[in-house]
Structure formats: C-alpha cells, structure tokens
Amino acid sequence: MKQLLNIERFCLIGHIVSMAFGLLGLLVVLPHPELILGLSTAGQVFFQWGMAGGGVVYILLGAAAVAIYAYRTLGLWHWLTFMLPAAFLSLGSELLGTSTGFPFGHYSYLNGLGYKIAGLVPFTIPLSWFYLGFASYLIARVGLEAAQAPSWLRGAGAIALGALLLTSWDFVLDPAMSQTAVPFWQWQQPGAFFGMPYQNFAGWMGTGALFMSVAAFLWGKAPLISERNASMKLTRSHLALPLAVYLSNFAFAAIMSIVAGIWIPVFLGVLLGIVPAMTLWWMAEPAPTQMTAETAASFTTEIPVTSVKVALK
C-alpha cells in the first residue's frame, strides 16, 4: 500500500507540474517566438514535444492519481463503479455533442489532446470527466455526510453539488481553452457567454449528474468507509487529494482566463465552485483523535504497577 501511495503522489505532482509547464508554454513562450529560436536544438525538440503531447500527459497523470487514490481509499468496487460510468457516459455525451450539437452545442475538437475516438473525441476527454468528476462528487458527498439531514436529501445534494462543482470548473476552462493562441476545441456556433452557448452548461450539469447518480446508486446510501480501516468513515483528511486536484485544475483554467482578460467566468467559478468546495471540505468530519503508540504503551504498563503497590500495602 505504501508503494501505491508513492506512485499516487508522483502522479499528482507530475499532473500539477505538467499544468504549470503548459501555462508557461501557452502564455509565455508561444506569444514570444524569439524565445523558441533562442533555445538549443534539444530545447526546441523538447518544447515541440511538450506542446504536442503536454495535454495528454497532464490528463493521464491526473486520471492515474485519482484512480490510485480511489482504489487505495475506497477499494476496487467504488473505484470502478465510478470510473466506468463516468468514462462511458461522458464519452457518449461527447460523441453525441460533436455529431449533433446535443447536449453541449455545436463544437469540434482540434489537435493536442490525443487520438480521437471515432475521429471526434480525444480519448483523454472521458478521463478528464472521470478524475474531475470523482474529485467533485467525493468532496460533496463526504462534506454532506456530516450534515444533519435525511439520507435521501444528502444523496441528492451530493449529486447536485458534485455536478455544480464540475460545471463551475468548465465556466472558467472553456472560454480560455477555446480562444487561446493554440485552441484545443472550437465552437461552430459561438454563444453569448464568452463564445460559449448557455446550452453547454446544461449539458455539463446533466452529464455530470447522470454518471454521479449511477455511482451513487451503486455505492449505496451508507457513509463511505475507508478501505484500510473498516470502522472509519471518510473524514476531512481523506479529501486532501480530491481538493488538491480540484483547486489545481481550477487555478490552471483561471490563470488562462485572467491572462486572456476574461474575468466574469472566473468570478462565477469562484462563487459556484471554489467557495462551495471549501465549505464542503470544512463541513466534513475531522479525523478522530487517536491515542499515540507511546501513550497507549505507557497506559497499559502503568496499571499493573499500581496494582502491585496496592497489593504490597
């Protein structure tokens, strides 16, 4: 298990570093071609490779980090019963959207995110739905499990808030990534919201709520239990990786939008994404205070000593 934890941390760090390098390339190097010309031959090759495959790498690392975390924390069943519905249902929505315009609007993917399934949707896109969707849903569910409310209300609230957190990330990501110097997708019919149709957000909410509902049904209503300790519910400390994934991806999108001068989506994303995510994290039960090994040892050894003294008197 320790080896899995180390791999998980490596993937998370690599995921965040890859996003940082992506920002550097998109916002600093590309707008200044003289910087590229000043690089050595090896540097130019590395930069070209990074721009061509950097989007694939950061998504793969993010998906790997969350997959290992899900397996390590919740077990094989909870991991697969979220990942598979998330990947296949989101892929179905994306294929439908790029073919017909429903449910997101008319758009198409460009190059930079890997091999396209059916020539339409990069294979990395369902993976991004999975890892951001899992992080969003787990934050919402664990946070609401501490609330004094009926189980059905907590369950519905976790789905609704999880889908909202996921969609709030897209508020910020979509305008910037479709209008950057090297866009990854384009809208055939630009909408009123900074180039996006409002329909896009309904599609995101609906798709996210759909696969989160499937996972919620398969997981059941019982509080989520740690795979390593069957008597321990998930607590605030267990949300460290999901929160890190959510915040780092939001920061990536926000920086892209701010540099492009797109402020309103960032404000909406903070209001509807960051604030609820941090509130839910705070609502989650804190980790129980556990007796240290030294204290336990001293406690167990003091009792017989006391009883001996009493016997001697």
- DSSP output for 211-254: HHHHHHHHH-SSPPB-SS-TT-B--GGGGHHHHHHHHHHHHHHH
* pLDDT above 60 for 306: no
Confidence of residue 32 (pLDDT cuts 50, 70, 90): low
- Which pLDDT value is given to residue 46? 63
Distance in angstroms (rounded) separating the CA atoms of residues 313 and 311:
5
Specify the amino acid at residue 154: R
- Per domain, the residue ranges of the chain are 62-288
Q: What is the mean pLDDT of the chain?
A: 87
Beta bridge partners of 108: 186
Q: Across 96-201, where does the E strand assignment appear?
A: 107-109, 116-117, 121-122, 185-187
Tokens of 285: 């039960």
* pLDDT above 70 for 309: no
Confidence of residue 37 (pLDDT cuts 50, 70, 90): low
CA angle 52, 57, 58 (to 5 degrees): 115
- Which pLDDT value is given to residue 179? 67
| Residue 109: φ, ψ to 5° | -90, 140
146-205 pLDDT, tens digit per residue, is 898 899 999 999 999 999 999 999 989 988 777 666 678 888 877 888 888 999 999 999
Q: In what helix (H) or strand (E) does residue 50 lie, and over which residues does it extend?
A: helix 41-74
64-98 pLDDT, tens digit per residue, is 999 999 999 999 999 999 999 999 999 999 999 99
- Which pLDDT value is given to residue 47? 58
Distance in angstroms (rounded) separating the CA atoms of residues 184 and 176:
10
